[in-house]
Amino acid sequence: MPEYSPLAGGAEGPRALRPLLDTVLDALAEGAAARCGPLPAGGPEPVRRRLEAALGDPLPAEGAGEGPALRALVTALAEGSADPADPHCAAHLHCPPLAVAAAADLAASVLNPSLDSWDQAPAASALEARTAAALAALVHPRGPAPEALVTSGATEANLLGTLLARERLGHRLRVICGASAHHSVHRAAWLLGLHPPTVLPTPGGVLDPAAAHEALDRLDRLDPAPGDPLPALVVATAGTTDSGAIDPLPALADTVAAHRTHRPAVLHVDAAYGGPLLFSPARRGLLAGLDRADSVALDLHKLGWQPVAAGLLTVPDAPALAPLAHRTDYLNAEDDTEAGLPDLLGRSLRTTRRPDVLKVAVTLAALGTSGLAALIDATCEAAAELAALVDAEPRLRLRARPGISTVLFRPAGATDAEVAALRRRLLEGGRAVLGRARLDGTLWLKATLLNPHVQPSDLAALVKLVLDQLDGPARPGPRPDQPEGSPT
Amino acid sequence: MPEYSPLAGGAEGPRALRPLLDTVLDALAEGAAARCGPLPAGGPEPVRRRLEAALGDPLPAEGAGEGPALRALVTALAEGSADPADPHCAAHLHCPPLAVAAAADLAASVLNPSLDSWDQAPAASALEARTAAALAALVHPRGPAPEALVTSGATEANLLGTLLARERLGHRLRVICGASAHHSVHRAAWLLGLHPPTVLPTPGGVLDPAAAHEALDRLDRLDPAPGDPLPALVVATAGTTDSGAIDPLPALADTVAAHRTHRPAVLHVDAAYGGPLLFSPARRGLLAGLDRADSVALDLHKLGWQPVAAGLLTVPDAPALAPLAHRTDYLNAEDDTEAGLPDLLGRSLRTTRRPDVLKVAVTLAALGTSGLAALIDATCEAAAELAALVDAEPRLRLRARPGISTVLFRPAGATDAEVAALRRRLLEGGRAVLGRARLDGTLWLKATLLNPHVQPSDLAALVKLVLDQLDGPARPGPRPDQPEGSPT
């Protein structure tokens, strides 16, 4: 038995873990100090070379021991991270986790409960049941029996929502979504063997209920026979990835309800980004109509400050999840279920499954919904402040006031190629991590604010970083032969 | 801004984390001491009540603060866990994680890289690329370009293997597997909209190549026309969930190859359990033929001592993964890819994705392959020892010598109902977590050994626990009207 392989669990585990965790914390601090910015400078190649130097042979015959291995690789990972805790790391829906959530997540790794059977997760399964139902009730306050499944993210939740629609309405299901819908809607239809989604243009950034109505009407032409209508799934978005726009949910729910009189139709809402606004009394009104959806995807690893993964699929009525029921003798034999052992296999498409709910439950207990609301409000206010700074700067153009916490802007008069190159220069210089969004044929810089600790001075410095790029010698001058926002 | 919400990342994160991690370790130790056994006694209801008492309102308006929330919920979770670090917790392929792996996993939670784009995971994506390719080369040493995708487990890896076959060979794909195959093969076919799998009986516990040959022959009758053969996917298993049996991989590879002359056919091997035997020079011979598979699923959260999740799908040639390629402007725009930013979206069906590879890479660096081999050999030897103890005990019947580390046995002369009830009594008493396996019409007790630290005295005590149940007053006497192993 190698001496360097103590277990994390049991009565002895905490003693073995303590020095290893000290090493991890030291390595995290060293790596962050060595990086000294939101991401490592130099672009992909230098990062890869440094990482591979720290790693050496990925499958060495002889081990280096626990401490040295942890120190080398965690330091290299921290030094080579794009750290969302840095105010200038703001490209994606990629949040800086709360310390309390990361600490709770350690307990999940140590105890390693697996949520596919009660005898692998006695307390963890009870915690998940309680917390998931409470979060579902937040989304569907008037649902007969709100229930939620914990997912690896909204991609899996969108897949589940589409799968539930397929199982309820049949394989002829037609999916209708806006151009602003997340790519995972398309991937779900592909995976499930469905017809590719009908994509409606979203010139205003949101799905137009009139366009959805027309698309549902157009299905008449495809119906195999009168009285044999094709079933439909309308997918709306509450917080698009590109701009944070929220589709008009009440009108879309009305549209689906109106068509239900003559066509089987359901509404799924991808609220991955916007869903947590429900915690904020000041902002939950933006989600009016969400409770009328047949299923909702949301992610607490975005506007909920959880380490990945913390996704949810919610439904207003638990029996809607019945198509996921699944039996296999070793996990949920009928006689065990009859004898009172909970049947958990229908709670996921996965089998072995980590209790991602633990960090969520601990965060809710630690901060309360008021604490989460304060973080959400602070983040949205920071985005409004950044938008105001951009708007006041004549060399920049703001696309619109932010709907949630996404600010889209671009240098006035720049071509799309220049916008894309500017973003890459900021990345390569290790200066800032900004995203990009192509909307209405124009490429925008995207700042997705998710750091509630961001200060006004950080925002001013971010604007200055972008302006410095415009002044820099490396920038090619504007080319008169290319109009602003031209595709390249 | 609430004062109790520091972030985990950045330069300040480690300072905020240190006292919280101390609280977690104290809570883990307290919870384990309070449980004082492999799982909490009393069955589901008392566990649920204690957990809910510790939780209180899952969505309180006001928070309790970080320390109190962590202490209450982590203690409750530890006290209510079935801890695989306890030698008498041996029901499932549910391993006790190594301390070094759990410590590394904390760094993933803190830094929160997301592997869907380079600008969210500069170093993590480089680490994944290097480690995944090395593990793939272990599985496919003669492959032209071995590659691996990191998955949430073998359920997702089996889904990916089936999806790749569908995309390569078409939606008419027929899946053929043994009765001993994992339930996730059936779920994958259902999810992907394929015809339900053809299930071949496995009376010897393994998939018979002659039976697979006949099943492929029988497809002739279903072919729509001569010269238009239905494509086929044969799924073999290297380490069944019920008994750890390994299908005859070389003969199955021969069978598939023989049919390929007139029918598109591929071989996927679910090596979730057995795959890590490749690390052991003494045992890798059991996996001869594995390298001939078109795709392989394996899990390092089983015989690799990782916290969940640590799954892999490997292929011998990277271009086989091309069907997963996917483009979306905000993550992998063509101009960004052309400018040198790695395109990562085709490495998973998920979008946001935690770097589960970190703990795997750190474990490999710390222990080396020889260290992992020592753990694997110790575990398999413990299973052989338990089998010998059972075999020497006249009141128990051993099913067979263990293939990997699963020992199936039952009280001599017991009915299936008595076997099932005995298992539940051990669970309810908080004494032992044993599994169950129904094989050849008989229900067996299943001890899946995955704890490399288990001692001979632990194994003797486990046998005694079972025997005590036979002597106990609560057991109904043998019923002469029910033959041994009768279905109930």
pLDDT of residue B170: 98
Q: Report how far residue A85's alpha carbon sits from residue A37's, in angstroms, rounded to the nearest whole number.
A: 10
Q: How confident is the model at residue A36 (pLDDT cuts 50, 70, 90)?
A: confident
Choose from A30, A352, A357 for mutation: most chain B CBs within 10 A: A352
Look at residue B259 and tell me whether its pLDDT is greater than 50.
Answer: yes
Question: Which residues make beta-bridge pairs with A174?
Answer: A232
Q: What count of CB pairs under 8 Å joins A to B?
A: 602
The predicted-structure confidence for A380-415, as pLDDT tens digits, reads as follows 999 999 999 999 999 999 999 999 999 999 999 999
Identify which of B59, B114, B163 has the shortest CB distance to residue A134.
Answer: B59
For residue B254, the distance in angstroms to the closest alpha carbon of chain A comes to 30
The predicted-structure confidence for B177-196, as pLDDT tens digits, reads as follows 999 999 999 999 999 999 99
Beta-carbon separation of B52 and A358 below 8 A: no
For chain A, what are the domain ranges?
A: 13-81, 107-364, 367-469
What residues contact residue B364 under an 8 Å CB cut-off, 6+ apart? A58, A59, A60, A63, B131, B372
The predicted-structure confidence for B89-101, as pLDDT tens digits, reads as follows 999 999 999 999 9
Query: In which residue are the tokens 């598109």 written?
Result: B264
Residue predicted with more confidence, A487 or A86: A86
Q: How confident is the model at residue A4 (pLDDT cuts 50, 70, 90)?
A: low
Q: Does B177 touch chain A (CB under 8 A)?
A: no
Contact status, residue B113 vs residue B128, Cβ threshold 8 Å: no
Look at residue B481 and tell me whether its pLDDT is greater than 50.
Answer: no
Choose from B3, B5, B93 for mutation: most chain A CBs within 10 A: B5
For domain B107-364, give its CATH number from 3.40.640.10, 3.30.565.10, 3.90.650.10, 3.40.50.720: 3.40.640.10
Q: Does B4 touch chain A (CB under 8 A)?
A: yes
Q: Does B454 touch chain A (CB under 8 A)?
A: no
pLDDT of residue B4: 54
Q: Does B455 touch chain A (CB under 8 A)?
A: no
Q: Does B254 touch chain A (CB under 8 A)?
A: no
The predicted-structure confidence for A115-170, as pLDDT tens digits, reads as follows 999 999 999 999 999 999 999 999 999 999 999 999 999 999 999 999 999 999 99
Look at residue B402 and tell me whether its pLDDT is greater than 80.
Answer: yes
Chain B residues with CB-CB distance to A191 below 8 A: 163, 191-192, 349
Q: A80: nearest CA in chain B? A: B123
Look at residue A433 and tell me whether its pLDDT is greater than 80.
Answer: yes
Q: Report how far residue B57's alpha carbon sits from residue B470's, in angstroms, rounded to the nearest whole number.
A: 43
**From the CB of residue A217, how many other CB atoms can be counted at a distance below 10 Å?**
11
The percent of residues above 70 in pLDDT, for chain A, comes to: 96
Give A350-364 as a DSSP string: -SS---THHHHHHHH
pLDDT of residue B3: 55
Q: A43: nearest CA in chain B? A: B341
Average pLDDT over residues A315-336: 95
- Residue B23 sits at φ, ψ, to 5 deg, of -60, -45
pLDDT of residue B484: 47
CATH class of B367-469: alpha beta
**From the CB of residue A40, how many other CB atoms can be counted at a distance below 10 Å?**
25
Contact status, residue B84 vs residue B451, Cβ threshold 8 Å: yes
Q: How confident is the model at residue B486 (pLDDT cuts 50, 70, 90)?
A: very low
Contact status, residue A238 vs residue A269, Cβ threshold 8 Å: yes
Q: Report how far residue B117's alpha carbon sits from residue B330's, in angstroms, rounded to the nearest whole number.
A: 9
Q: Report how far residue A151's alpha carbon sits from residue B353's, in angstroms, rounded to the nearest whole number.
A: 12
- Residue B303 sits at φ, ψ, to 5 deg, of -85, 40
Q: B83: nearest CA in chain A? A: A111
Helix (H, G, I), strand (E, B) or coil at A414: coil
pLDDT of residue B360: 98
Q: How confident is the model at residue B471 (pLDDT cuts 50, 70, 90)?
A: confident
Contact status, residue B315 vs residue B321, Cβ threshold 8 Å: yes
Average pLDDT over residues B471-485: 49
The predicted-structure confidence for B366-400, as pLDDT tens digits, reads as follows 999 999 999 999 999 999 999 999 999 999 999 99
Helix (H, G, I), strand (E, B) or coil at B145: strand
Q: Does A225 touch chain B (CB under 8 A)?
A: no
Q: Which of A299-303, A390-394, B473-477 has the weakest average pLDDT?
A: B473-477
Q: Report how far residue B294's alpha carbon sits from residue B162's, in angstroms, rounded to the nearest whole number.
A: 11
Identify which of A99, A339, A420 has the shortest CB distance to residue B8.
Answer: A99
Look at residue B36 and tell me whether its pLDDT is greater than 70.
Answer: yes
What residues contact residue A290 under an 8 Å CB cut-off, 6+ apart? A139, A238, A249, A269, A271, A275, A278, A296
What residues contact residue B449 under an 8 Å CB cut-off, 6+ apart? B90, B379, B382, B383, B386, B405, B406, B407
Average pLDDT over residues A230-256: 98
Residues B392-412 as b or e (16 or more Cβ within 10 Å = b): ebeebbbbeebbbbbbbbbbe
Contact status, residue A263 vs residue A257, Cβ threshold 8 Å: no
Query: In which residue are the tokens 């040295």 written?
Result: A68
What residues contact residue B22 under an 8 Å CB cut-off, 6+ apart? none
pLDDT of residue B110: 98
Average pLDDT over residues B298-321: 98
Look at residue A481 and tell me whether its pLDDT is greater than 60.
Answer: no
Q: Report how far residue B294's alpha carbon sits from residue B157's, in angstroms, rounded to the nearest whole number.
A: 13
Token output for A243: 């701009």
Instruction: Tell me if domain B107-364 and domain B367-469 are identical in fold.
Output: no
Return the closest-CA partner of residue A129 out of A420, A305, A348, A335. A348
pLDDT of residue A484: 47
pLDDT of residue B2: 46
Q: Does B113 touch chain A (CB under 8 A)?
A: yes
Q: Report how far residue B390's alpha carbon sits from residue A326's, in angstroms, rounded to the nearest whole number.
A: 33
DSSP state of A96: P
The predicted-structure confidence for A350-370, as pLDDT tens digits, reads as follows 999 999 999 999 999 999 999
Q: Where are the beta strands (DSSP E) in A352-414?
A: 396-398, 406-411
pLDDT of residue A471: 82
Beta-carbon separation of B82 and A113 below 8 A: yes
Identify which of A99, A112, A424 has the shortest CB distance to residue B13.
Answer: A99
Look at residue A475 and tell me whether its pLDDT is greater than 70.
Answer: no
pTM for the full predicted model: 0.96
Q: Which of B64-73, B148-157, B220-229 has the weakest average pLDDT?
A: B220-229
For residue B356, the distance in angstroms to the closest alpha carbon of chain A comes to 10
- Residue A50 sits at φ, ψ, to 5 deg, of -65, -40
